[in-house]
Amino acid sequence: AAQRRQARIVIVGHVDHGKSTLIGRLLNDTQSLPDGKVEAVREMSRRRGMPFEWSFVMDALQAERDQGITIDTTQIHFKTARRPYVIIDAPGHTEFLKNMVTGAANADAALLVIDAGEGALEQSRRHAYLLHLLGVKQVAVIVNKMDMVDFSRERFDQVAAEIKAYLADIGVAPGVILPISARHGDNIASRSENLAWFDGPTVIEALDGFLPAAPEDELPLRLPIQDVYKPDERRILAGRIETGRLRVGDTLHFSPINKTAKVVTIEAWNAATPITASAGQSIGITLDQRIFVERGHVASLASERPIEAHRLTVRLFWLASQPLQTGKAYTLKLATAEHRVTVERIVEVVNIDDLSVRAADTVGRNEIANVVLHSRSLVAVDPAVDLPRTGRGQLLDGHDVVGGFIVTQADAVAERN
Ligand code: GDP
C-alpha cells in the first residue's frame, strides 16, 4: 500500500492533566516504543518508589536524546494501522507555546487533554484559544483520569458540556469529546468495560478520523519570495507557494512594489522544469522582465492581490515577560517579510476565561489582545479569515519572538496603479 501522509498533532492541556501519560500509552499501545523502554520506565518508577508511571516514557525517550542517539529533539513518532503520526514538541517543554506560535508546529490536529475531576482550567482554555488563533481546526477533547471519578457518565457529560460551550464561543468545533484513563489504558487503543456506556471512538480511532490537511491550491496564489539567486544572467526568485497555484505564462503581481511580470520558467529542485506548481511546493521562477524583487515581496495573480496597508489590526498572543506597550517598536514578521512597526493602540485585552474584553495600556505574558500596528513601509497582508497561512505572523523584539498574531483587519491604501 502507498505510504500515507504523516499527520502532525499537538497535545495540549493544563499541566498534570495527563498529557505525558497519554503519550506514553499511545506509544506503548501502538507498539511504537523502542526496545527496552518499558523496562527503563519500570526501573525509573521503582527507583522513585512509585507504581509503573507511564509519563516517564517521555523521560526515557529524553534520556536517549541526551546521549545524542535521536537527531530530532522535539518530535515523537508513532504509527497506527491507518497512518504515521508525529507529535510535535513535548508538552511542558518551556518553549512549547513559543514553538506553536512561531509555526514550527504547524499541526494538522490537536488533542486537548482535560482532567475529569478538575474540568477545563484557565490553562486548558488558553491552549484551546491558541489552537483557534493558530488555525488548528481539528480538535479532539480527551477527558482523562476517568478512574478518579468512578468512570461516571454524569461527570463526563458535565465536563464535556462545559468545554463544548467554550470551544463554540471561540469558534472551534470539537470533532469529538471522549473519556479515557491514560494511567489504566481505558479507551486509548481499545474499548473499555469501565466505559461501556460510551459509544464514541477510542483515542486511536479519533486520531485516525482526522482528515488530512485540506489542499490549499484552490485558494488565491501567494508566493512570498525567500531569496533571489543569480546563477548566470538569469534571476531566479525562490520561495514556497503558501496557497494557490501558478503556471508558466501567468502574469504575476508583486506586492508591495506594485509591479507585474510574466512567468517564463518554473524551476523545481530535483525535477525537470514543470509547467505548473502549487501550494506546498518550494520553487524558483524566472520572469520576462527585470523588476526589482527581493526577499519579503509577495507574488500573487493580479486579480486577487493581498491588501497593501500601513495599518493592521491583529489578535495577538503575547509571550514575553516584558509587557507589550503602546508606542513601542517591534519587528513584524509575515511570511518572508519583515517590517518595523509601532504599537499604535491596544484596543482591548481578552479575558481567556469568559472571553470578555477590557481596555488596557499594556499586554502581559500569555494574554491575548486586539492591537493596532502601524508600519511606515507598506505591508502586503491578508486577513486570516481569507488566507490563514499568510494572515498569520509574529512580533519580534530584537531576535526574540515576543508574540504571535492573526491579522483581523488591514486598511488598504488607496488603489495605486
Ligand atoms: P502532564 O503534565 O499533562 O504531562 O501530566 P502527566 O502525564 O505527567 O500526569 C500527571 C499525573 O497524573 C501523573 O502522576 C500521572 O500518573 C497522573 N495521571 C495521568 N493520567 C491519569 C489517569 O488516567 N488516572 C489517574 N488516576 N492518574 C493519572
**Residue corresponding to grid cell 509519563:** 55
Cβ proximity of 118 and 88 under 8 Å: no
Atom of ligand 1 nearest to the CA of 180: 23
Distance CA 342, CA 201 (A): 48
Task: Evaluate: CB of 304 within 6 angstroms of ligand 1.
Answer: no
Task: Evaluate: CB of 266 within 6 angstroms of ligand 1.
Answer: no
Region 137-144: what's the mean pLDDT? 94
Region 259-288: what's the mean pLDDT? 92
Neighbour count for residue 102 (Cβ, 10 Å): 17
Distance CA 191, CA 201 (A): 8
Q: Under DSSP, is residue 53 helix (H, G, I), strand (E, B) or coil?
A: coil
Choosing from 10, 15, 16, 29 the residue with most ligand 1 atoms within 8 A of its CB, the one to mutate for a pocket test is 16
pLDDT for res 73: 44
Task: Evaluate: CB of 57 within 6 angstroms of ligand 1.
Answer: no
In this structure, which amino acid lies at residue 324? L
pLDDT for res 137: 82
Region 88-97: what's the mean pLDDT? 68
Cell for 178? 471522549
Please check the confidence at residue 321 and state whether its pLDDT lies above 90: yes
Region 249-263: what's the mean pLDDT? 97
Choosing from 115, 150, 183, 184 the residue with most ligand 1 atoms within 8 A of its CB, the one to mutate for a pocket test is 183
pLDDT for res 3: 54
Please check the confidence at residue 2 and state whether its pLDDT lies above 50: no
3-state helix, strand, coil in the chain (%, to 5): 20, 35, 40
Distance CA 400, CA 397 (A): 5
Percent of the chain at pLDDT > 90 equals 69
ipTM for the complex shown: 0.99
Q: What is the DSSP pairing of strand 298-301 with strand 259-268? A: unpaired
Q: Where are the beta strands (DSSP E) in 199-250?
A: 223-229, 236-240, 245-247
Region 183-206: what's the mean pLDDT? 97
- For residue 375, the cross-strand partners are 341
Distance CA 322, CA 363 (A): 9
Task: Evaluate: CB of 127 within 6 angstroms of ligand 1.
Answer: no
Atom of ligand 1 nearest to the CA of 148: 26
Q: What is the DSSP pairing of strand 138-144 with strand 174-179? A: parallel
For ligand 1, the distance from its centroid to the CA atom of residue 145, given in whole angstroms, is: 7
Cβ proximity of 293 and 380 under 8 Å: no
Please check the confidence at residue 301 and state whether its pLDDT lies above 80: yes
| Longest Cα separation, the chain | 74
Please check the confidence at residue 113 and state whether its pLDDT lies above 90: yes
Lowest pLDDT segment from 69-73, 239-243, 282-286? 69-73
Q: What is the model's pTM?
A: 0.83
Please check the confidence at residue 370 and state whether its pLDDT lies above 90: yes
For ligand 1, the distance from its centroid to the CA atom of residue 54, given in whole angstroms, is: 8
Write phi, then psi, for 381 (nearest 5 degrees). Answer: -150, 155
DSSP 27: H
The alpha carbon dihedral of 348, 351, 357, 358 has a sign of: negative
pLDDT band at 414 (very low <50, low <70, confident <90, very high): low
Establish whether the linkage from the previous residue to 256 is cis, with ω within 30° of 0: yes
Give the CA-trace dihedral at 61, 66, 68, 69, to 10 degrees: -20
Distance CA 320, CA 322 (A): 5
Please check the confidence at residue 256 and state whether its pLDDT lies above 50: yes
Region 223-235: what's the mean pLDDT? 93
The distance of Cα 279 from the centroid of its chain, to the nearest Å, equals 17
For ligand 1, the distance from its centroid to the CA atom of residue 25, given in whole angstroms, is: 11
What residues contact 101, with CB distance under 8 A and at least 6 apart? Answer: 130, 134, 317, 319, 394, 401, 403, 404
What residues contact 204, with CB distance under 8 A and at least 6 apart? Answer: 26, 29, 30, 80, 188, 189
The distance of Cα 120 from the centroid of its chain, to the nearest Å, equals 21
Task: Evaluate: CB of 95 within 6 angstroms of ligand 1.
Answer: no
Atom of ligand 1 nearest to the CA of 55: 7
Atom of ligand 1 nearest to the CA of 54: 16
pLDDT band at 66 (very low <50, low <70, confident <90, very high): low
In degrees, rounded to 5, the angle at the alpha carbon of residue 151 between the alpha carbons of residues 147 and 153 is 150
pLDDT band at 71 (very low <50, low <70, confident <90, very high): very low
pLDDT for res 67: 53
Region 199-213: what's the mean pLDDT? 91
